[in-house]
Amino acid sequence: MTGKRTFCLQAALLLAPCMAAHAQGPELSPDEIMRQTVTNELEAANDTGHYLYRLQTEKPRRTETYAVVETRDWLIKRQLLLDGVPLGAEQRAEQDRELRSLVADAHALRVLRAQQRKRRKRVRELVRALPEAFEYEFDGTEADGHLGEVIRLRFHPNRTFEPSSRELQVLQGMEGTVSVDASAHRLLRVEAKLFRRVNFGWGILGHLNEGGTFMLEQRDVGEGRWQVTRLALHFTGNIFFFKTLHIDSTIRTSHFQRVAEELTLTQGLELLLRQDEREESSGRVGAPRDPSPRSRVAR
């Protein structure tokens, strides 16, 4: 009996690795990882949670900081700082009047909602195209202190991909790397570069020059909500032969605070109008000055 027990124990030990491997299933291929990741990103786009947060746009000669609030139907923003300095009283009053006027203008709100929905649709189409637009291969793994394992993939254009829009044509000239959370299968970072010139409409509508770069970072900002925390765009080109295109900007988001899911536009506006008080109480503001305010509404 003892001999049989020993034999069974030895057999179990020998078979255990095989059984575990069978239970876990084969590792996903790079293409499968991207398909699963994109599926998760598209599903997450339907999340209904809303946040109040800070958005900063950095350009070569100008940095603007806004408070942004997500309401039930709209996204609106209000400028707080220019080059790190708070707006003057007149400029704050002017943009506050414009925001209140917007909230009371039904036609302007319909236009704003249509613009924001169109933008979200374009982003979804771009994300949905990623598995087919590129071919992927492993580029190693790394450890993240908060997330655990991160998978890096290299990508280059899939020659059989046929873009369905002008926006997607850009993908045919891009290559780079993508980092994915190994457990949640969510995008963490994308770095891409235009390795060749990309034409639109056979070059008649315009083109982007070789060497342009794109970088995106995304993180879990709380309660399972993932948000783009950094987006850097650096491109040059031409539109309709004569108009020079020069994009050189970085957008950062931070200070996320969850707000009520059913937050109305009026309630969201009141939150924005109180942000000056919050800035002052937190000690994040400096001496007032009178810069010219820029856009007041997130479009």
The count of domains in the chain is 1
Query: What length does the chain have?
Result: 299
pLDDT for 277 equals 60
Is 287 a domain residue? no
Is 101 a domain residue? yes
Is 158 a domain residue? yes
Is 294 a domain residue? no
% residues pLDDT > 90 (the chain): 56
Is 292 a domain residue? no
- 203-213 burial by CB neighbour count: b if 16+ within 10 A, else e? eeebbbeeebe
Is 142 a domain residue? yes
Condensed to tens digits (0 to 9), the pLDDT of residues 244-283 reads 888 999 999 999 999 988 899 999 999 998 886 655 555 4
Is 185 a domain residue? yes
Smallest Cα–Cα separation from 150: which of 185, 191, 190? 185
Instruction: Domain of residue 101: give its range.
Output: 27-282
Condensed to tens digits (0 to 9), the pLDDT of residues 176-217 reads 999 999 988 999 999 999 999 988 765 557 889 999 999 999
Q: Residue 281 corresponds to which tokens in the numbers above? A: 């109480």
Rounded Cα distance between 131 and 128, Å, is 7
The DSSP secondary structure of the chain, one letter per residue, reads -HHHHHHHHHHHHHHHHHHHHHHH-PPPPHHHHHHHHHHHHHHHTT---EEEEEEEEEETTEEEEEEEEE-SS-EEEEEEEETTEEPPHHHHHHHHHHHHHHHT-HHHHHHHHHHHHHHHHHHHHHHHHHHHHEEEEEEEEEEETTTEEEEEEEEEE-TT---SSHHHHGGGGEEEEEEEETTT--EEEEEEEE-S-EEETTTTSEEE-TT-EEEEEEEEEETTEEEEEEEEEEEEEEETTTEEEEEEEEEEEEEEEEE-TT--HHHHHHHHHTHHHHHHHHT---S---PPP---S--
Condensed to tens digits (0 to 9), the pLDDT of residues 97-111 reads 999 999 999 999 999
Considering only CA atoms, give the Rg of the chain. 24
Average pLDDT of the residues of the chain: 82
% residues pLDDT > 70 (the chain): 81
